[in-house]
Amino acid sequence: MGHIISLLNHKGGVGKTTSTINIGAAMVELGKKVLLIDLDPQANLTLSLGIPRQKITIYESVVGESDLVPYTVREGLDVIPSSLDLSGAEMELINEAGREFILKELFAEVLPDYDFIIIDCPPSLGLLTLNALTCSHQVLIPLQTEFLALQGLTKIKQVIDKVRLRLNKKLELGGVIATMYDQRRVLNRDVVNTIVKYFGDKVFNTYIRDNVALAEAPAQRKDIFTYNKRSPGATDYLNLSKEILQRVQAQEPHSVA
């Protein structure tokens, strides 16, 4: 049975989409079958992987017009693409009964087919994000190692706690990912120390270093492993994904063995 992970941060530009893509690609490198969900109306994940406009996107599925239709990027890696249409979904679903459970119902059909479903949440805490958290086993928080990135962390934790209390008892904070890290910069080191003080061992040991290949890969419509498998970015995401896998297996030993 598949394990569902949401990547969440309501601040933009923290490496959330980059992390979603490359954690998914790293899991494929580790022999897992992965489905990525682009739940952001900006469709950055869809664009970054060069997926052409599809007749069926996550929008059509969320509003009840279609089942999920995965697009295969490469062997082992499928994507449910997004589109700008998704920006109107929250208003369209405002009076829908059980609207927080729409994704959970959609995933029930495809969950047995994948080891991991990884959701790129929108940079907001609205209904789409609530749907992602309601069906997820874990939340990962990508956090840029800059001072302003620390703002709003308390709010994110409050939202996770409320969803766990009211909608999804299984939801856990799976970890915090330090992104765009340069160990030569005192500020980066200080921010990481602050994160560790706040989150303790929830912070992953692997930091995602500031690496030009991670910025170049989306321009070439590729994940980091397809673009440059020998880059520091590929090394970091592979090591991070090994850590994620260890934590998942410790939490649910039989889920992705």
Percent of the chain exceeding pLDDT 90 equals 82
pTM over 0.75: yes
Q: Which domain holds residue 148?
A: 3-251
Q: What is the CATH number of the domain that holds 149?
A: 3.40.50.300
Residue 256 lies in a domain: no
Residue 208 lies in a domain: yes
Residue 228 lies in a domain: yes
Q: Using one digit for the tens of pLDDT, what is the confidence trace for 49-69?
A: 999 999 999 999 999 999 999
Q: What is the mean pLDDT of the chain?
A: 93
Q: Using one digit for the tens of pLDDT, what is the confidence trace for 176-226?
A: 999 999 989 999 999 999 889 889 999 999 999 999 999 999 999 999 999
As a whole number of angstroms, the distance between CA 7 and CA 118 comes to: 7
- Residue 3 contacts residue 245 (beta carbons within 8 Å): no
As a whole number of angstroms, the distance between CA 180 and CA 178 comes to: 7
Residue 253 has a pLDDT of: 53
Residue 75 lies in a domain: yes
Residue 257 lies in a domain: no
- Within 13 Å and on the Cβ side, how many CA atoms surround 119? 29
At 257, the pLDDT band (50, 70, 90 cuts) reads: very low
Q: Using one digit for the tens of pLDDT, what is the confidence trace for 135-157?
A: 999 999 999 988 877 777 888 98
Residue 126 lies in a domain: yes
Number of domains composing the chain: 1
Residues with Cβ within 8 Å of residue 67, at least 6 apart in sequence: 61, 106, 109
